[in-house]
Amino acid sequence: MDGYFSFSGSTSGIVYPITSGTNPFQMLAQDPTQYTLATFFKQLLDTNLQPEFSQAIVACGLTTPNLQIGQTVGELVAYELDETLLTTTNYQFPLLYIHDEGSDFDQLTLVYSSIQRHFTVSWILPPLTPTQYTVLNPFFHLIQEIWLGYGQQGYDPKVNTTNIWRSAGVSYGWLDSCTITKYDGTMKDKQGKDMQAFFPCVEFQMCLVEKNQIPVPQNYPTPFTKATIQINLIDGYNPANPIDNFIDGYVYPSITLTSTSVSSGTQQGGTWFYLFGTGFESGTITSLTICGAPAAAYATKSASVLLIITNPAIFGTAGQLGDIVLTDSLNNTYTLHNSFTYTSP
C-alpha cells in the first residue's frame, strides 16, 4: 500500500435514467465514482503534460494517423482492454483507460460494511520505435509522479485545492501501484506484413470505498454485547500526524426507545414504570432523566425492558410534557420525546 487518504463524500450510486448520447464521458456520468476518476485523471494529464507533450511528439516524429496531436487524451475506454482490441480497433490515441475491476464488501465495524471498488487506470500510447520511446519516456515517469501524488490528495494544485473525490461519493481509499508497462500486439508494416508492436502505457491501480454503508445482518445464535474497535487513519503524505482512534471504543447493539407503561407520575416522585425498547444491556446505560430530573433508580429487566422509579420533579410545571433521555457509556444520548408528564400531587 503506497498511500492512504480519507475524505467526506456524498451518497453514491448509479444514476438513472441513463441519458442518450455516445460520448463515453457522458455515459460514465451515470456512475459518479467512475466518472470522477475519468475526469480527474484526464485533468491531471491536461494540466501537467501540455504543451511539452505535444512538442515531444513532434520532435520524435510520431505521425500515426490516429494520434490526436495537441491532446493528452484522444479517447476514453471503459470496457476491458486487451492486445487484440488495441491492434484491431481504430482507437484515437493517447487512450485513457478507466476499468472497473469489480467490487466487494469492506467491513468497517462489526455492524456496518460498505462497497469497496477496484479500478485500473492506464494512459496508453500507440506503438513507438526505440528512439521515439526514449524521447517520450520522461513523460511516463512524470505521469507516475502526478498520479501518485495528486491522486492520493484528490486535487491538482495547478487548478485548485478543492478535493474532487467529494463528488465521487466515497469515504476513503488507497493507491496500490503505478507501473510503466506495455501491451504486446501485432500491426501491419508498409508492405502489409505482420510485425510485432508494443503499446507503452502507465498503469495505475486504486481502490475506493463508497460511502453508502450497509448494515450487516446479525444472524448469530447469541447477540454480541460489545466489542473493542480502535483504528487510526494515516495520511500517506503526513504519516507523523495520524487521526488517532478514527474508529475507537465499544460498539453496542443499537439502543432504541419505543414506549412506556405509564405516561405520567406525581411531582413528588416515587412513580415506577417500564421503559420499552432495545439494547438495554447490563452496564451500557450510565444515566437516565425524566423531564430533566434524574431517575431515582433504574434496573435492566431484559434487553428490551427497563424498570424506572422517578425522582421528584426539579423544574417545570404540572401537566407539561417532557422527554425521557438515556445516556450510554460512550456518551451517546437517546430520547423518547414528549413521553412523560409530572402531575400535581
Q: Is position 239 within any domain?
A: no
Per-residue pLDDT averaged across 129-136, rounded? 86
Domain-ending residue, one of 215, 245, 276:
215
What pLDDT is recorded for position 184?
79
Distance between CA atoms of residues 131 and 295, nearest Å: 84
17: domain CATH number is 3.30.2000.10
**Residue 251 domain-assigned (yes or no):** no
Residue 6 has pLDDT above 50, yes or no: no
189 and 301 together in one domain:
no
Whether 230 is covered by a domain: the verdict is no
Residue with C-alpha cell 406525581?
266
Sequence-separated (6 or more) residues with CB below 8 Å from residue 125: 93, 94, 136, 199, 200, 201
Task: Say how far apart CA 118 and CA 177 lie, in whole Å.
Answer: 12
Mean pLDDT is lowest, of 6-10, 112-116, 334-338, for 6-10
Query: Distance between CA atoms of 78 and 178, rounded to whole angstroms?
Result: 18
Q: Are residues 147 and 51 in the same domain?
A: yes
The CATH number of whichever domain residue 324 belongs to comes to 2.60.40.10
Pairing of strands 3-6, 95-107: unpaired
Residue 156 has pLDDT above 90, yes or no: no
Residues 201 and 261 both lie in one domain:
no
Instruction: Looking at the structure, tell me whether residues 202 and 303 fall in a common domain.
Output: no
**What pLDDT digit, counting tens, does each position of 233-279 carry?**
555 555 565 555 444 444 455 788 999 999 999 888 889 999 998 88
> Is residue 166's pLDDT more than 70?
no
The residue range of the domain holding 85 is 3-215
Is 205 in the same domain as 70?
A: yes
> Residue 203 has what pLDDT?
92
Q: C-alpha cell of 27?
A: 455515459
Instruction: Say what the pLDDT of residue 40 is.
Output: 84
Same domain, 104 and 198: yes
Chain segment 28-75, per-residue pLDDT in tens: 766 777 887 888 888 889 988 888 999 989 888 888 888 988 899 998
Residue 10, pLDDT score = 36
Q: Are the C-beta atoms of residues 164 and 40 closer than 8 Å to each other?
A: yes
Helix orientation angle between 52-59 and 130-153, rounded to the nearest 10 degrees? 170
Question: Average pLDDT in the 163-180 region?
Answer: 71
Asked whether residue 263 falls in the same domain as residue 201, the answer is no
Mean pLDDT over 10-37 rounds to: 58
pLDDT at 188 over 70: no
Residue at 99 is within a domain? yes
pLDDT at 167: 55
Residue with cell 414528549: 338
Within a domain: 188: yes
Are 70 and 179 found together in one domain? yes
Residue 181 lies in a domain: yes
Whether residue 277 is contained in a domain is answered as: yes
Task: Identify which has the larger pLDDT, 99 or 221.
Answer: 99
pLDDT the model gives residue 261: 92
Q: What is the pLDDT of residue 24?
A: 64
Pick the last residue of a domain from 185, 215, 245: 215
Which pLDDT value is given to residue 17? 43
The pLDDT value recorded for residue 27 is: 66
Tell me the pLDDT band of 123, cut-offs 50, 70 and 90: very high
Same domain? 266 vs 210:
no
**Domain match, 181 and 264 both:** no
Where does a domain end: 189, 215, 241? 215
Looking at the structure of the chain, the number of domains it has is 2
Q: Please tell me what DSSP assigns to residue 319.
A: T
Backbone phi, then psi, for 62, in 5-degree steps? -80, 110
Lowest mean pLDDT among 247-261, 277-291, 326-340: 247-261
Both 210 and 110 in one domain: the answer is yes
Residue 18 has pLDDT above 60, yes or no: no
Q: 3-7, 73-77, 228-232: lowest mean pLDDT where?
A: 3-7
Indicate the burial class of 167 (C-beta count within 10 angstroms; 0-12, 13-18, 19 or more).
Answer: middle
| pLDDT above 90 as % of the chain | 12
